Amino acid sequence: MAGQPGDTTVPLLDIRDLSVDFAQDGRLTHAVKGASLQVMAGETVGLVGESGSGKSVTALSVLQLLRGTARHAGGQVLLRGRHGEGSLDLVSAPESLLQRIRGGRIAMVFQEPMTSLNPLHTVEKQIGETLRLHRGMTGGAVRTRVLDLLERVGLRDAASRLQAYPHELSGGQRQRVMIAMALANEPELLIADEPTTALDVTVQAQILQLVRRLQAELGMAMLWITHDLEIIRQLAARVYVMEQGEVVENGPCTRIFSAPRHPYTVRLLSATPEPRLPRSLEAAEEVVRVEAVQVHFPIRKGLFRRVVGRVRAVDGISFRVRRGETVGLVGESGSGKSTVANALLRLIPRSAALLAGRVLYGGTDVTGYDQGQMRPLRRQAQVVFQDPYGSLSPRLSVGAIVGEGLQVHHRDLPAAEREAMVVAALRTVELDPETRHRYPHEFSGGQRQRIALARALVLKPRFLVLDEPTSALDRTVQKDVLKLLLDLQGRERLAYLLISHDLRVIRALCDHVLVMQAGKVVEEGPAEQVFGTPREPYTKALMAAAFEMKAVTDGTVRV
Amino acid sequence: MIGLLPKSWSPLSRRRLASFRRNRRGFCSLWLFLLMLLVTLPAEFIANDKPLLVHFRGRWYVPALRAYPETAFGGDFETEADYQDSLFMDDIIKAGGGRVLWAPLPWSYDTVDAGSDEPAPARPGARHWLGTDDQGRDVLARVIYGFRLSVLFGFALTAVSAVVGVLMGLWQGYSGGWVDLLVQRFMELWGSMPTLYMLIIMSSFVTPTALSLLGLLLLFSWMGLVYVVRAETLRTRNLEYVRAARALGLSGPRIALRHVLPNAMVATLTFLPFNLAASLTTLTSLDFLGLGLPPGSPSLGEMLQQGKANLHAPWLGLTAFLVLAVTFTLVVFIGEAVRDAFDPRRGLGRAEATR
């Protein structure tokens, strides 16, 4: 396992009893309460927790990046001195000193590479900036060093990428650029705040492999922050578990994973969803069928917006979903799975894309239907989206949100009866109906996803499209939501189309799985067959990356 | 419209209201402005050359609101009673046992004071607290009526152009495609028309009334909000909850009004006070040029023009200037407070530094 402790006894980074508060609208939130953490030189330490645990705030406090926004309520952040000097408390360090340390001795990599890179600066300029700042390098020396760094992080065709802008690079490439920026001055400590969470699983495996190699080469220490325990198992020697601002448990990885002590750690470790047992569904009637559907988006260029080509978002897919069955669509970003869902729900306007193939709702061909004809059928097929924060209107109360569909489809019913249906729907998703007068922002992510589910269920659909329903949720919350979905399916015999990039979630819910890559179906079959004995190389690479964090470098997946 | 007057305030709206209240300058300006408006709204009851109430032979008359012929008071002629005629008042009303209640200020905006000792424009004195203008009309009365007229005109202009602008912006942003393109081109053409020349041309055809002036200004002022609302609509259209509403089966206009409009209203509301100030400016400058309200109307712009023409009578220019300055200052303070209340970033900066 990587990241063995360094050879001195004084920790490189020593966070002692750190407390950070946020004040908003007169209320004080204790984001971090007396957290203590040590990183020795050359060691990899993991910091694990769910949303709201305070792990990111702790990381940002190391480099004092929250000055002006958060209030430091106590504790110290000690950085070991160099060349025999004493330790330096970063909390009370002046800004000029901190600026020398940031990017110099301690570097940081963030989660979202698209927003962490300046969209108006080329790759060379961004990486060069930190070189100029900390080392005073100029001109040709900068260029050479940048090229060297890019090659080190495994960016293909580095020379041609020097003048590229961030939006011209893929997610994985951007994150490599960020890592290059962080490593430019050979820091002693690299703080990584969920750097792979926003990446596809195969790219994530590659980045992890890269980071392991770099750490071995440079001998630097790493503080890796994530909610994914599997990554920590692959990377870190020791791990700290945070909950609600406190460090609840810490220790060597081997011990934590085999014998966790704190109940929260136990819960975290058991939150991995269990695979679904295969069952027989032969007798069930068909609810939705998709036949050879293609969705092509035209590329228009020129003065007259002539069509010069097509983006084949979906290039021929066929499947059917029966009552009580879950069909899963797996793929990475850009594979076209969400487009399939939109096409199935007839949410793609004809003017935007060319649609071919047939879509049938329970035997009725709805391919040619316009919005007016679709409206009465929308009761049958509903959808739950990924983002629990964006899919609920912030201005409507929960009751209004859930009852919105009723106003369209059951307008003739008296208001009291519609209200009763809303209450029933909220009870089904295990939310207290009394809270329906509150507004969405008062609920947590998992609760909001339940509200979205209630909104879909109140119309009593036969078919539910779940577009990454738990991707934005913490693992423990995800477990509860998945259980709810399974129970609902058992009771109401709902048909689900589950779209996800998270293979564990697919395995937990699906009976039949289709693997998509670049718009085409690469492999399909019963879940136990696709997961247990995948045939296609792409599927095998996906499974290796998702379950073993193994990167495949034979060209099957893009870099 | 759901977004404008919610039955129960959402916490977001409540926080914005609290933020507005915290801005003392804006909050006090709002109250001051409303007070001024409230005081000048019943202008007919504050400054009038006709009595407010007359009790004559057991019956009540309200000359401030209705025109009564002389014969109603026992006079000889069918024309409207002239309450300024002291003979008429003494003989007929007082002799007949009548009681009269006058307004605090015995001048209306168009009363030419024939009984004054000084030549027009008269200095401020006991008789005319702010003096008279160059036609002998009381300045204070004109200010009261003029303020009311300007502000109500400004409100009407702002409100109607806001409604038209928001609806156009919504329609344009939500429909996209050809509708968007065509409306944009139309607005470019229409917006390049010279408003001033149109007004001059129109005033040569027909003497403009306040309503026709409002109509003409409306023809061109609705475009101000369209761009902002269109941009907000284009942004909101792609939000997840709009997609969710479409999946539920809501029709286009319903989604636009229920989900998209409230978001667009945020930007609109922050613009409205400044639009009001702009409307007031437009009216004032038109009056200053003589192209606005018909002559004789109480108007602050016209008083400015008189002030310019009568520099030996500084009370004219100064009064108009001060009234306008105070009005605009209050409106701008209110506007700034509204804008800051709606600014999503401001609420977070309340904590002290981490030190």
Write the DSSP assignment of A180-220 as a string of letters. Answer: HHHHTT--SEEEEESTTTTS-HHHHHHHHHHHHHHHHHH--
Q: What pLDDT was estimated at residue B198?
A: 81
Global model pTM greater than 0.80: no
Which tokens sit at A270? 């058991």
Helix (H) or strand (E) holding A371: helix A371-374
Query: Residue B110 pLDDT more than 70?
Result: yes
CB-CB neighbors (< 8 A) of A375 in chain B: 249, 251
Assembly ipTM? 0.73
Q: What pLDDT was estimated at residue A240?
A: 94
How far A208 CA sits from the closest chain B CA (Å)? 32
CA B218 to chain centre: 14
Q: Is A97 on the interface with B (CB under 8 A)?
A: no
At A274-297, the pLDDT tens digits run: 888 877 777 778 888 888 888 888
Which tokens sit at A490? 């058992």
Q: Is A72 on the interface with B (CB under 8 A)?
A: yes
Least confident interval from A59-63, A307-311, A448-452, A529-533: A307-311
Alpha helices in chain B (DSSP H): 11-22, 24-40, 43-46, 86-88, 139-175, 177-191, 195-205, 210-221, 226-237, 240-248, 252-255, 261-289, 300-309, 314-342
Q: What is the mean pLDDT of chain B?
A: 83
Q: Is B5 on the interface with A (CB under 8 A)?
A: no
State the pLDDT confidence band at A150, using cuts at 50, 70 and 90: very high
Q: What pLDDT was estimated at residue A357?
A: 87
Interface contact flag, A390 B241, Cβ < 8 Å: yes
Q: What pLDDT was estimated at residue A351?
A: 72
Mutate to test the interface with A, among B14, B178, B241, B251 (most CBs of A within 10 A): B241
Q: What pLDDT was estimated at residue A252?
A: 93
Interface contact flag, B11 A395, Cβ < 8 Å: no
Q: Considering chain A, what percentage of its residues have pLDDT values greater than 70?
A: 97
Of all residues in chain A, the one with the smallest CA distance to B178 is A351
Other Cβ atoms closer than 10 A to A270: 12
CA distance A166 to B281: 47
Q: What pLDDT was estimated at residue A515?
A: 93
What average pLDDT score do residues A245-273 get? 90
Q: What pLDDT was estimated at residue A3?
A: 41
Query: Residue A130 pLDDT more than 70?
Result: yes
What average pLDDT score do residues A155-166 get? 87
Q: What pLDDT was estimated at residue B349?
A: 37
CB-CB neighbors (< 8 A) of B240 in chain A: 385-387, 390-391
Query: Residue B218 pLDDT more than 80?
Result: yes
Least confident interval from A34-48, A226-240, A348-362, A390-404: A348-362
How far A281 CA sits from the closest chain B CA (Å)? 28
Q: What pLDDT was estimated at residue B47?
A: 87
What average pLDDT score do residues A29-38 get? 91
At A330-340, the pLDDT tens digits run: 988 778 888 88
Q: Is B240 on the interface with A (CB under 8 A)?
A: yes
Q: What pLDDT was estimated at residue A8?
A: 65
State the pLDDT confidence band at B162, using cuts at 50, 70 and 90: very high
Phi, psi (degrees; rounded to nearest 5) at A284: -75, 145
Query: Residue B3 pLDDT more than 50?
Result: no
Q: What pLDDT was estimated at residue A558?
A: 58
Interface contact flag, B244 A385, Cβ < 8 Å: yes
Question: Please, are residues A189 and A107 in contact by the beta-carbon 8 Å criterion?
Answer: yes
At B61-82, the pLDDT tens digits run: 888 888 888 787 777 778 887 7
At A71-104, the pLDDT tens digits run: 888 899 999 888 777 888 999 889 999 998 998 8
Helix (H) or strand (E) holding A278: none
Nearest by CB to A390, from B240, B247, B262: name it: B240
Question: Please, are residues A223 and A250 in contact by the beta-carbon 8 Å criterion?
Answer: no
